[in-house]
């Protein structure tokens, strides 16, 4: 039996259990501003995917989504924006246009979780009650984790940028175009990060651009990563090492960026415990990342601040009517939109089971994907599971650079995101994988 599951006899009454819990605190209930069968915290990919499904399955007025932002961004496209292959406008849509019909949109952020009393508190003081809670808050990009980074990002004249924000991704391509040679440095922070391949994908695009525009011969390209490997899955790491060698890219492991000045980047060599300084003429920085600061100490969080769920069922370990999805959880897989899609399929099955009084039965295998763009028109499609074993969809070797996979990333995946995932209609490629492999793979 999975650790977080309540005993079957306890869960058998289904929603009745949670209704009894919910109605057992009349003093707290009297203070609630409004209540819903389902509350989703977060209007990112995970929140909208599950919320859209909840609305269709459980009807109008069953759902509230708590989200303060007016704009939703398709973040996987930021790399292509930074490389000049897409415009920032293509990544953004009004949040109102994506909200499930008849869902109550609470335009605020959550500041406190009260799972023992089945409600959350928002920044504007609302107490929102629920029977079932889905937490899809994402993570925080910590720009202050590298000293000096933020003012250089904001300076339009600096040659420092990052693709991890819609505010600065366009600046990346502007700087790529302005660059006339010298030292170009790309950084990778310690895990976890959104899409661990993103810090090097922009490097390959920039290197390809400079090669095409006669700047490469005057340029030293360096990738300084805080990790001990170029990628966590051996098959794809081997392919990337070949790319790095063929393109004469300098690769330094266990180099953690700690400070950036106007002309220098300072790294900690975590293996030797020393400090190294690199002069740069172009710098793409990937800031450290982690759980939202407000999540530290919340009753639904682990000691670090991640939502504490079972990695296979995505049900909370202590509160059986609470679920988590996406970057905000402590599920040990790479934090990507592909992982969100696969997790959403698991959540749909398990939420429906719990509502009926059953134990969660669908088990997440850790599937995630990272389309590793290695140049304009070239991509290695990495797909893998919890154990870093390849879990490939197509019946050919995905460890090779392919134009078809580039167009999948650039042209097909955005449509799957907007028209499939966010509407709760796309749960990842598991079915397609079985078909393409004639049923030989799960």
**Which CATH number does the domain housing residue 341 bear?**
3.50.50.60
Whether 329 and 413 share a structural domain = no
Phi, psi dihedral angles at 315 (to 5 degrees): -85, 145
**Pick from 264, 288, 312: which residue ends a domain?**
288
Residue 232 lies in a domain: yes
Residue 9 has what pLDDT? 29
Whether 265 and 195 share a structural domain = yes
Which ranges of 297-417 would DSSP assign to H, the alpha helix?
A: 337-355, 403-407, 413-415
257 is catalytic: no
Q: How many CA atoms lie within 13 A of 92 on its CB side?
A: 12
Residue 395 lies in a domain: yes
Copy the structure tokens of residue 331.
């599920």
DSSP-based three-state secondary structure for 88? helix
Whether 110 and 40 share a structural domain = yes
Whether 225 and 120 share a structural domain = no
H or E element, residue 239: helix 234-246
> Greatest CA span in the chain, whole angstroms?
73
Q: In the chain, which residues have pLDDT < 70?
A: 1-30, 438-442
Residue 425 lies in a domain: yes
The CA-atom distances, in angstroms, between 292 and each of 77, 141, 273 are 23, 9, 29
Whether 351 and 311 share a structural domain = yes
**Domain hosting residue 221, numbered range:** 142-288
Residue 442 lies in a domain: no
Copy the structure tokens of residue 421.
């995932």
The DSSP code sequence of 108-156 is: S-EEEEETTTTEEEETTS-EEEEEEEEE----EE-GGGSBTHHHHHH-T
> Positive or negative CA dihedral for 268, 273, 275, 278?
negative
Residue 2 lies in a domain: no
CB atoms within 10 A of CB 335: 21
Residue 306 lies in a domain: yes
CB atoms within 10 A of CB 49: 32
**Pick from 321, 355, 389: which residue ends a domain?**
355
Copy the structure tokens of residue 114.
């009260």
Name the domain count of the chain. Answer: 3
Whether 319 and 203 share a structural domain = no
Residue 392 has what pLDDT? 96
Q: What is the pTM of this model?
A: 0.91
Residue 441 lies in a domain: no
Looking at 283, 339, 370, 416, which residue is catalytic? Answer: 370
Looking at 80, 195, 307, 405, which residue is catalytic? Answer: 195
Whether 270 and 300 share a structural domain = no
The Cα 63–Cα 82 span in angstroms is 36
**Pick from 355, 386, 403: which residue ends a domain?**
355
Whether 198 and 229 share a structural domain = yes
Whether 61 and 117 share a structural domain = yes
The Cα 244–Cα 232 span in angstroms is 16
Whether 74 and 27 share a structural domain = yes
Whether 146 and 268 share a structural domain = yes
Residue 172 has what pLDDT? 98
Residue 438 has what pLDDT? 67
Residue 6 has what pLDDT? 35
Residue 361 lies in a domain: no
Residue 11 has what pLDDT? 34
Whether 182 and 109 share a structural domain = no
Residue 29 has what pLDDT? 52
Residue whose structure tokens are 């994908």:
201
Closest CA to 231 of 372, 327, 397: 372
């Amino acid at each position: 039996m999975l650790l977080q599951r309540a005993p079957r006899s306890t869960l058998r009454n289904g929603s009745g259990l949670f209704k009894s819990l919910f109605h057992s605190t009349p003093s707290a209930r009297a203070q609630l501003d409004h209540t819903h069968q389902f509350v989703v915290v977060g209007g990112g990919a995970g929140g909208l995917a599950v919320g859209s499904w909840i609305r269709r399955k459980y009807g109008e007025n069953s759902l509230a989504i708590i989200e303060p932002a007016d704009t939703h961004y398709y973040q996987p496209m930021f790399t292509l924006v930074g490389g000049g292959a897409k415009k920032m406008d293509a990544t953004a849509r009004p949040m109102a246009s994506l909200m499930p019909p008849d869902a109550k949109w609470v335009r605020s952020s959550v500041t406190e979780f009260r799972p023992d009393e089945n409600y959350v508190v928002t920044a504007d003081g609302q107490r929102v009650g629920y029977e079932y809670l889905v937490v899809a808050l994402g993570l925080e990009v910590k720009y202050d984790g590298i000293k000096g980074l933020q003012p250089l990002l904001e300076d339009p004249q600096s040659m420092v940028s990052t693709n991890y924000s819609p505010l600065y991704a366009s600046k990346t391509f502007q700087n790529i175009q302005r660059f006339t040679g010298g030292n170009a440095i790309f950084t990778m922070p310690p895990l976890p990060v959104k899409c661990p391949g993103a810090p090097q994908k922009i490097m390959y695009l920039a290197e390809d651009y400079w090669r095409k525009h006669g700047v490469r011969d005057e340029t030293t390209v360096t990738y300084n990563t805080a990790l001990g490997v170029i990628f966590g899955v051996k098959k794809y790491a081997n392919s990337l090492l070949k790319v790095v060698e063929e393109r004469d890219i300098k690769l330094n492991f266990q180099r953690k960026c700690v400070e950036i000045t106007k002309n220098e980047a300072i790294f900690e060599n975590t293996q030797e415990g020393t400090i190294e300084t690199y002069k740069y003429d172009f710098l793409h920085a990937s800031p450290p990342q982690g759980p939202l600061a407000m999540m530290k100490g919340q009753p639904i969080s682990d000691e670090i601040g991640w939502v504490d769920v079972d990695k296979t069922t995505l049900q909370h370990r202590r509160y059986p009517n609470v679920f988590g999805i996406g970057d905000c959880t402590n599920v040990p897989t790479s934090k990507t939109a592909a992982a969100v899609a696969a997790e959403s399929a698991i959540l749909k099955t398990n939420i429906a089971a719990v509502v009926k009084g059953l134990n969660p039965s669908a088990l997440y295998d850790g599937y995630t994907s990272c389309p590793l763009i290695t140049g304009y028109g070239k991509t290695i499609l990495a797909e893998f599971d919890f154990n870093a074993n390849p879990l490939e969809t197509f019946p050919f070797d995905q460890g090779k650079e392919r134009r078809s996979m580039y167009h999948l990333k650039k042209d097909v995946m955005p449509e799957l995101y907007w028209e499939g995932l966010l509407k709760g209609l796309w749960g990842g490629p598991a079915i397609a994988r079985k078909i393409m492999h004639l049923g030989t793979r799960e």
